[in-house]
Chain A
């Protein structure tokens, strides 16, 4: 690992100032950053440890929403009674990721900034536009079974690896950012950028800008929600496809739905087209399938990941079926 300076500021202003310097990185739980530093993918000159800052609580918002501090550990978030009752999909999403040890370390803010697990990103011997802009992309014609099928570009097909963010995208979460110019709020669905020609730029964060909180608006529909993760082994694997869904059905008609996908796009993917088709329509399997297929219609697949469109469709249908019947899907 390249030698680096380590600072642990006592307040948020000092942290933002320290991180505004070139070559500085915030350190939360370190579960991704330290890995990347060991691999030489990230080579910060300064690591700004923000774990001493007071952003580690989950607080009620008026109307039934929640404000989640950026330094809340994943395991604490998943165990929070309010989260489990109001947004069960969020708790399920967190628990489906990583391992207990990692969840004990990982923070909510850090989870938003997880970097892709594309194997070519991780190996310096490979070409990767995200790691080295302009070098090319070995994933395009290499192993791309895990790669994204929506929102990809000719320069990058890497998928966003987070589970938590998929649930946040479905729940209309808003990210609170603090920078040298003050505080701003960005919808989670606008926080991550699609790769385009600049896959190295993954978020809208400005230099030194710090994620301080994620706010969840009240969402009664989310009480009936589920996060379904499909992967190659039962635990400790990134999603091939995941679905975060909340559903409200009255008299056989879908009255409200929130739907987001993971494992299929460079960012957590809010399935707005499917949602639009579902609302007001029948709560039946063929309607779910039509909506899912419409969402996936724009899929751009490569050698190894063509199955993902069908898998995403099947997983959306299965998840909505479970939510509309209230039973275990299996």
Chain B
């Protein structure tokens, strides 16, 4: 574990910001006191289990529930024949972002239609979870099967151009890339594929739902508390203010809990139908069958360059898939728009709809698999040119956005590569493939660029200061393991000049001011903007109170000249503590609020997009060892150097960045969801057969950051949740290429692809 973070971040702004502060939720989690969605006790709690369809497409002709109902302890079996109806999912609208939270438009149990193999077609409610699951295995649906398209490889040819949206274009053209490619001095033209991936958070999705008349309380593992509340109110036709969603702790999300999926809706429905509090905790297999994952992709990357390695043509096209019933076209070429200067650029995204469960967000949708292709191709071009792969990238580093021409807000990839090359010992790399050895092991070193856009979402935050000096920050977001609660408390403590211990951050409840969801690596910056604004308002309010008191040392001081420190406000050595200000004003507390209107927020976002291209970037360095007999690949060293602006908490940031790299190693070497081409059934729906990396697969991971604030972002910070998975798979593939001379184009890089 590196100890250099504190030193490196000493330049960061405040007393707490930048430090490796312990997680405020650490003790609660390590003692088990922290409750997750499936751990809230209720008197009379019943348990639900799902029955999954076993055909990819068709209609239910009957559901035989007799055997299930006969099991002692079964309360009810809900099917499309007896379930109370839900309202349909609202249509997606950018004026109401909560409409994005619907995982699929399928109206479970209000339809006899089956849209994918694994779709829930019945829910068993019982007195124990074991009874519910056993009874669910006895439910016998009968189907009329309809033809289904489930084989991505076979259906790829039917892909159509993907539609762009307000914040993500699906195509770009600059110059004439095909013509430039044809005449380029050097070129590579490669076709890559990536498999479907699935979410495997340590906490499977869980919901505890309790109705009281038309009032609903839901304990949920949710990445979007406010949107989930609104969605549930709409689906069940009850007032939004009567719906309370509680989600303080989420046991990992990665995008898989960013939408409302079947388990949530059906738990609420089952509670409605039975009049009992109902808990539905998905089995691991249930997660695979009811929660979307990452689309597979086929990607073509063609690069042309002049004799010196300057790109003359950059082509990146992709095919991905959605479900016919829902999903989103993944922005696979999104990162490629911004990576390299080239006079000729051609980007296209295509998508095909299949009769499979809707795909969904999974850590860096688009960039994670897109960077695999483009960064592998860059490495291959470097081989073609006989040029160092870092040097090739530096020669093509853009000064302005290559497609849009906007300014690049604080781009420091050159510095990241320079620091990385030195720390990693890049100069010891013999560029010839297959010659570096450690005993019998083949050794390879590879690099790749990481890239993820920096975004923000609206956030409402209140800050309350009590006469006893305690500060309460309220925002309806969740602690999903990233350190959210800790970093916002750090920011508030610095902004108000109080000890961290006196700040309490209240979160995880839809009754709190509406917080930003955890998505797009945007939550920390979004909430930070709200905390900064609310703290600023609070200081102004306090100053206003102080100035009204005759003889106050703060009379005549302007707000921008204030210094918040030592539990009070000061200017030029004179000032008052908060306790003194409140006492003199006769107030027990003061409170300030930051509110972000949706419309104004969207207008500002779109304006800024025309002005700036903002992104977290990084340089990934990977070393692998390959067994020359069996071609097993093991990652032996890793360094990621990231340009992520101001780092708020060195401990949780390092953890986030390492986590993304771990997931990237999984993507590179072992993860893939196996979907049977005949019936669309996921055949490896378990942690035993879906291979996420285990500890033994992961070496020590060195993460570094440049820690220079991005002046266009709140506190200079950029989101860090996703950037470190990008480029990771390419870094592995490039290291494997170096070790073996073999370019693997199809993930994951399993040993059979290196044999023969």
B694 is contacted by which of A141, A234, A317 (Cβ under 8 Å)? A234
Tell yes or no: A169 within 8 A of B by CB. no
CA A124 to CA B693, docked complex, whole Å: 27
Within 8 A of B (CB), among A210-257: 230-237, 240-241
Q: Which residues of B contact A232 (CB under 8 A)?
A: 669-670, 691, 750-751
Q: Which residues of B contact A75 (CB under 8 A)?
A: none
Establish whether residues A143 and B674, one from each chain, have CB atoms under 8 Å apart when the complex forms. Answer: yes
Q: Which residues of A contact B683 (CB under 8 A)?
A: 119-120, 123, 126, 142-143
CA A190 to CA B400, docked complex, whole Å: 72
A233 is contacted by which of B133, B137, B685, B693 (Cβ under 8 Å)? B693
Q: A126-B681, A330-B627 are in contact. Are A235 and B695 (CB under 8 A)?
A: yes
Establish whether residues A117 and B688, one from each chain, have CB atoms under 8 Å apart when the complex forms. Answer: yes
Tell yes or no: A311 within 8 A of B by CB. yes
B-contact 0/1 string along A277-319, CB 8 Å cutoff: 0000000000000000000000000000001001100110110
How many inter-chain residue pairs (CB < 8 Å) link A and B? 96
Tell yes or no: A181 within 8 A of B by CB. no
Establish whether residues A125 and B681, one from each chain, have CB atoms under 8 Å apart when the complex forms. Answer: yes
CA A249 to CA B585, docked complex, whole Å: 94
Q: A230-B632, A233-B694, A237-B691 are in contact. Are A122 and B751 (CB under 8 A)?
A: no
Establish whether residues B676 and A1, one from each chain, have CB atoms under 8 Å apart when the complex forms. Answer: no
CA A124 to CA B696, docked complex, whole Å: 32
Establish whether residues B697 and A40, one from each chain, have CB atoms under 8 Å apart when the complex forms. Answer: no
Instruction: Kindly name the residue among A2, A122, A234, A307 whose own CB sees the greatest number of chain B CB atoms within 10 A.
Output: A234
B-contact 0/1 string along A118-149, CB 8 Å cutoff: 01101111100000000000100111010000
A-contact 0/1 string along B735-756, CB 8 Å cutoff: 0000000000000001110011
User: Closest CB of chain B to A49's CB: distance in Å?
Assistant: 19
Within 8 A of B (CB), among A154-195: none
Instruction: Kindly name the residue among B439, B678, B688 whose own CB sees the greatest number of chain A CB atoms within 10 A.
Output: B688
Establish whether residues A330 and B694, one from each chain, have CB atoms under 8 Å apart when the complex forms. Answer: no
CA A287 to CA B137, docked complex, whole Å: 54
Establish whether residues A234 and B634, one from each chain, have CB atoms under 8 Å apart when the complex forms. Answer: yes
Chain B, interface size category, equals 35 or more
CA A80 to CA B388, docked complex, whole Å: 52
Tell yes or no: B605 within 8 A of A by CB. no
CA A241 to CA B632, docked complex, whole Å: 12
Instruction: Kindly name the residue among A3, A122, A307, A330 whose own CB sees the greatest number of chain B CB atoms within 10 A.
Output: A330
CA A119 to CA B683, docked complex, whole Å: 6
Q: A122-B686, A233-B670 are in contact. Are A314 and B696 (CB under 8 A)?
A: no
Tell yes or no: B134 within 8 A of A by CB. yes
Q: Which residues of A contact B752 (CB under 8 A)?
A: 145, 307, 311
CA A311 to CA B753, docked complex, whole Å: 12
User: Closest CB of chain B to A195's CB: distance in Å?
Assistant: 20
Tell yes or no: B689 within 8 A of A by CB. yes
Tell yes or no: B684 within 8 A of A by CB. yes
Within 8 A of A (CB), among B423-468: 439-441
CB closest residue in chain A, given B677: A142
Instruction: Kindly name the residue among B54, B630, B695, B755 whose own CB sees the greatest number of chain A CB atoms within 10 A.
Output: B630
Q: Which residues of B contact A119 (CB under 8 A)?
A: 674, 683-684, 689
Tell yes or no: B561 within 8 A of A by CB. no
Q: Which residues of A contact B669 (CB under 8 A)?
A: 232-233
Tell yes or no: B117 within 8 A of A by CB. yes
CB closest residue in chain A, given B676: A142
Tell yes or no: A329 within 8 A of B by CB. yes
CB closest residue in chain B, given A312: B630
15 contacts between A and B (CB under 8 A): A1-B134, A2-B137, A122-B686, A124-B54, A125-B117, A141-B678, A143-B674, A230-B630, A230-B751, A231-B632, A232-B670, A233-B696, A234-B634, A235-B696, A330-B441
Extra contacts, 20 of them, besides A125-B681, A231-B632, A235-B696 (Cβ < 8 A), are A2-B137, A117-B688, A119-B674, A123-B685, A142-B676, A142-B683, A143-B684, A145-B752, A230-B751, A232-B750, A233-B697, A234-B697, A236-B694, A236-B696, A237-B691, A307-B751, A307-B755, A311-B755, A314-B630, A318-B627
